Copies of this chain bind each other. A is one copy, B any other.
């Protein structure tokens, strides 16, 4: 019995205890296949000899299942992990996976060099946000389940929210008090990167490329209904949903001369709206008296402050739970449209 530094295997343990490998395997995986007494003996001895259960790599090869679900995020992991909406989604996914004895593998469609290699380990895939290229999908094992969140992939179930009606609803609410100078701050909506004012010659992404196009459509429907020609409403665009990237755009906008500065800002995300709120406070611009602001998402940070953000709440946690249930086969893999809720805060009463 040479005590090699090598890790003990199921086979070693079987030999040691004088039983077959099947019995050891059953002790760990199918308690009903052997007497409780023998099972107890095996588990005790296993612990004593330093065997901590069947190796996951071998098991997954043998069974074809790893109990790992991969989430592929359109953005970098660094960005996604610090984004409240993506974090909520992940939390919802993790909640369900965990309860079902599965684990979460995080991949990024943006920077990741490991996707082609590592992805085949996962039992299923949840894809969040638009991928920079569709080539990625070609590398995913076609026979494994795949659910998309917040965008559509031909032939797969999608979980998304009612972006257009939600945007329409919040814009209609805001326009009930007629603004003098309404403006829209878009999130990554231009064909070419643009962090600032959108000029007339810039092409916008189509709605199959980004959900923010649907949000703009909702705003514009409300403008038309309120008798405002959408073409006359100035628009800004933000390339990334972070304070650092929003800040110069919002500063640019708030630093316009008083008679040009917008008095209503329809923002496509809470992050944009919160940035506007902070910069307005710093400049002594009173919210909502001189500037009304609306957001989108309903993240905690916008509600756990004073004044609270007027926004649209989308339940990203529930989006995550739903996607995870679909992947695990606990819910039918049918596209689901989640509804949102108008949240009236003090930034646009």
The interface of chain A, by Cβ under 8 A from chain B, is: 5, 7, 47, 50, 52-61, 64, 66-68, 76-78, 81-82, 84, 87-88, 90-92, 94-95, 98, 101-108, 111-114, 116-121, 138-143, 243, 274-275, 278, 281-282, 300-301, 304-306, 317
Contact = CB atoms under 8 A, between A and B. Distances in A.
B91 A114 contact: no
Nearest to A77: B94
CB-based closest 5 A-B pairs: A77-B94, A56-B121, A78-B91, A56-B120, A281-B306
A52 B120 contact: yes
A95 B77 contact: yes
A53 to B, nearest CB: 6
Interface majority SS (helix, strand, loop, mixed), chain A: helix
Contacts of A304: 243, 274-275, 278
Interface centre among A47, A91, A98 (most CB of B within 10 A): A98
Nearest to A301: B301
Contact of A81 (B55, B68, B94): B94
A78 B95 contact: yes
Contacts of A92: 78
B121 A60 contact: yes
Interface centre among A77, A141, A142 (most CB of B within 10 A): A77
Contacts of A107: 103
Contacts of A68: 105, 118, 121
Given A53-B139, A82-B84, 17 more contacts: A7-B142, A47-B138, A50-B142, A52-B139, A56-B118, A57-B57, A58-B61, A67-B114, A77-B91, A77-B98, A78-B317, A82-B88, A82-B91, A94-B108, A101-B113, A103-B105, A278-B304
A68 to B, nearest CB: 7
Contacts of A139: 52-53
Contacts of A55: 61, 120
A118 to B, nearest CB: 5
Contacts of A57: 57, 60-61, 64, 66, 120-121
Given A53-B120, A98-B112, A103 B106 contact: yes
Contact of A67 (B104, B117, B243): B117
A66 B304 CA distance: 42
Contacts of A61: 55, 57-58, 61
A94 B78 contact: yes
A198 B143 CA distance: 57
Contacts of A317: 78
A314 to B, nearest CB: 15
A17 B120 CA distance: 23
Contacts of A102: 114
15 contacts: A7-B143, A56-B117, A61-B61, A66-B121, A68-B105, A77-B95, A78-B92, A78-B95, A82-B84, A82-B91, A87-B87, A98-B113, A103-B118, A105-B105, A106-B106
A67 B112 CA distance: 13
Nearest to A144: B7
Contacts of A66: 57, 118, 121
A325 to B, nearest CB: 16
Nearest to A247: B304
A56 B119 CA distance: 7
A81 to B, nearest CB: 4
